[in-house]
């Protein structure tokens, strides 16, 4: 009876059409098709599914836990997405995928601990059954018919692709006045802890969907802050791995020196298992490490309650001080780390920034974006394969009411006039950026014999302002992002009811050390909690 109710009563429906309706989107939002779907179903049904099915409730063989979990996820998306705009579209094959996972389970085949678990994929990552738009109407018809290697890895691990997540259009690299979480295709995603506030970005929908209980797992991408900021302000866990541990092929790029995909989840255990499913050597990705032992690591072995005991942790105070409420939570976090057995080395700072560092870091992104995006577009099948950056600029001008109602495309224009990657200006900017960021992190670690560094991830979420744009006060993302080093954010508490995160980062390929510390901190403090107005959380992987 339970299975019948979970599966039959929760038939999935498309969430958002992929084409621009006649007359354009209302108020610049991409939610017209959602409005056409009619009234939302009653939340009482969804609440019952939450309590009775869970994500992968223990069930007799053949009872269909993947089907139940996927149907429940699709129903939650339908129920809450109209308000939050976290999901661009659900995958029409999701229920068929789930049914196949259940058939495998009934036959005694389990692909791993995430077998049958629903996962949402950011819409700049290719999936074979859906378009990959990067949030832009210019790519609304971009059906590649192929999976990015990381998505193929997730399918092999038994996960169910339930849809594509909304994002900051072009991963927040079109305008300096953009609003995080806004795209012409998906509209303005909203923070479930306060829908008037920003979800940060660019992995906005991924974070919102997990925080609101729509899905237990999501994949985001980051160039600088695009996993850790949305994770922090939505009150969940985000892991940005060392650049190259996860293949970047099949992902709409910004900059190859910094781009990576990573997991987002409500807790460290789930995020760690998703990271394990994502990592693999890709000989076609120049950043994929060739050294033996980098892949196939059992990161789950680092999920230790005593993981902070004996750790030497450096406190980077130079990345704090931008918000008094965050500073108070950060001070408590340092006390909690010490109480859990860590040795704290406080009052550390990175070296003074050399003149022109910020400009150099931006130049790197502009040069690499032009090169990497044009190369990505050239490899697309169909009409999209003929597009280049100038065509996207022209498209936005021709569709300005839908694409540029709120902000322009000055970043596109700046990138277009940059030279190639043999330019001395680019090479000098890259050297300055990487030397400072890598030297800064490695220098602190070595000078003080540290295992890792901590600092606040970001300020609390700001009020969405489509006219003025985002309001970043400070944060910790840039140093590890520019270095290509790993970075984990874990909930640190709340400031006036808004979640904030604690950042753990360190040397290249130090994921295991960071997971040990972040998991032990999470378990010792228990700061994570779902938004009051939305669904409860169910773990994807049961604690051992």
Structure tokens at 54: 């869970």
Taking alpha carbons only, the member of 322, 227, 233, 325 closest to residue 278 is: 227
Residue 536 among the catalytic residues: no
Buried b or exposed e, range 206-244, using 16+ CB within 10 angstroms: bbbbbbbbbbbbbbbbbbbbbbbbbbbbbbbbbbbbbbb
Write the DSSP assignment of 371-411 as a string of letters.
HHHHHHHHT-SGGGGG--HHHHHHHHHHTHHHHSSS---HH
Strands 118-122, 160-165: pairing is parallel
CA torsion sign for 504, 358, 263, 86 is: positive
- Indicate if 288 belongs to the active site: no
259, 248 in Cβ contact below 8 A?
Answer: yes
Short-list 272, 307, 263, 237, CA closest to 524: 307
What span, in angstroms and rounded, lies between the C-alpha atoms of 189 and 21?
A: 20
Query: How far apart (Å, rounded) are the C-alpha atoms in residues 398 and 388?
Result: 16
Catalytic residue among 168, 175, 178, 202: 202
Structure tokens at 537: 């959380």
Residue 47 annotated to the active site: no
**178, 226, 247, 477: which one is catalytic?**
226
Distance of alpha carbon 135 from alpha carbon 125, whole angstroms: 11
Q: Quick one: DSSP state of residue 127?
A: B
Treating both helix axes as pointing N-terminal to C-terminal, what angle do 204-211 and 65-84 enclose, rounded to 10 degrees? Answer: 120
Alpha-carbon radius of gyration of the chain: 22
Pair 18, 133: CB distance under 8 Å: yes
Indicate the burial class of 383 (C-beta count within 10 angstroms; 0-12, 13-18, 19 or more): exposed
Query: Among residues 414, 468, 404, 469, which one has the least CA distance to residue 138?
Result: 404
Report how far residue 215's alpha carbon sits from residue 6's, in angstroms, rounded to the nearest whole number.
15
205, 86 contact by CB (below 8 A): yes
Cis amide leading into 202 (omega within 30)? yes
Question: How far apart are alpha carbons 383 and 226 in whole angstroms?
Answer: 29
Contact 132, 252 (CB under 8 A): yes
Can you tell me whether residue 459 is helix, strand or coil? coil
State the catalytic residue, choosing from 7, 122, 311, 477: 122
The dihedral formed by the CA atoms of 53, 58, 63 and 66, expressed in degrees to the nearest 10: 60
Cβ-based burial of 294 (10 A; exposed 0-12, middle 13-18, buried ≥19): middle
Active site residues: 122, 202, 226
């Amino acid at each position: 009876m339970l299975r019948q109710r979970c599966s039959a009563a929760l038939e999935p429906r498309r969430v958002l059409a992929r084409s621009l309706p006649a007359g354009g989107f209302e108020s610049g939002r991409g939610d017209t098709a959602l409005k056409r779907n009619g009234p939302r179903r009653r939340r009482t049904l969804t609440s019952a599914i939450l309590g009775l099915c869970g994500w992968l409730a223990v069930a007799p063989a053949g009872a269909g836990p993947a089907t139940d979990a996927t149907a429940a996820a699709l129903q939650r998306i339908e129920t809450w997405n109209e308000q939050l705009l976290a999901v661009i579209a659900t995958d029409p094959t999701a229920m068929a995928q789930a049914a196949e996972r259940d058939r495998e389970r009934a036959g005694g085949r389990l692909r791993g601990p995430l077998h049958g678990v629903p996962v949402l994929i950011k819409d700049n990552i290719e999936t074979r059954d859906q378009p990959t738009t990067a949030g832009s109407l210019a790519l609304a018809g971009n059906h590649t018919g192929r999976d990015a290697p990381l998505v193929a890895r997730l399918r092999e691990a038994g996960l169910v692709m339930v849809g594509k997540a909304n994002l900051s259009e072009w991963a927040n690299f079109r305008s300096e006045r953009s609003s995080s979480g806004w795209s012409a295709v998906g509209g303005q995603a909203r923070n479930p802890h306060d829908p008037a506030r920003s979800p940060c970005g660019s992995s906005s929908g991924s974070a919102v969907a997990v925080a609101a209980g729509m899905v237990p797992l999501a994949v985001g991408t980051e160039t600088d802050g695009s996993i850790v900021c949305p994770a922090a302000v939505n009150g969940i866990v985000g892991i940005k791995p060392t650049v190259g541990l996860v293949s970047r092929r099949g992902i709409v790029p910004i900059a190859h020196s910094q781009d990576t995909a990573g997991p987002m989840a409500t807790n460290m255990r789930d995020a760690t298992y998703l990271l394990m499913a994502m990592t693999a050597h890709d000989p076609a990705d120049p950043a994929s490490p060739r050294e033996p032992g980098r892949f196939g690591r059992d990161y789950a072995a680092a999920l230790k309650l005593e993981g902070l005991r004996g750790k030497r942790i450096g406190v980077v105070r130079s990345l704090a001080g931008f918000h008094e409420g965050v500073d108070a939570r950060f001070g408590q976090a340092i006390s909690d780390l010490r109480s859990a057995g860590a040795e704290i080395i406080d009052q550390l700072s990175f070296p003074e920034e050399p003149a022109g560092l910020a400009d150099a870091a931006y130049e790197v992104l502009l040069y690499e974006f032009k090169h990497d995006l044009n190369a990505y577009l050239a490899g697309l099948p169909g009409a999209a394969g003929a597009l280049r950056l100038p065509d996207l600029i022209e498209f936005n001008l021709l569709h300005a009411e839908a694409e540029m109602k709120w902000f322009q495309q000055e970043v596109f224009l700046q990138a277009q006039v940059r030279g190639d990657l043999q330019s001395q200006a680019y090479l000098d900017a890259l050297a300055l950026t990487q030397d400072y960021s890598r030297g800064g992190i490695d220098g602190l670690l070595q000078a003080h014999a540290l295992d890792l560094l901590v600092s606040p991830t970001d300020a609390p979420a700001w009020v969405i302002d489509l006219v003025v744009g985002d309001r970043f006060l400070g944060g910790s993302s840039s140093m590890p992002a520019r270095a290509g080093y790993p970075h984990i954010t874990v909930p640190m508490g709340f400031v006036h009811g808004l979640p904030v995160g604690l950042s753990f980062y360190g040397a290249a390929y130090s994921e295991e050390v960071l997971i040990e510390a972040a998991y032990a901190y999470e378990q010792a403090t228990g700061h994570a909690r779902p938004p009051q107005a939305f669904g409860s959380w169910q773990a994807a992987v049961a604690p051992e």
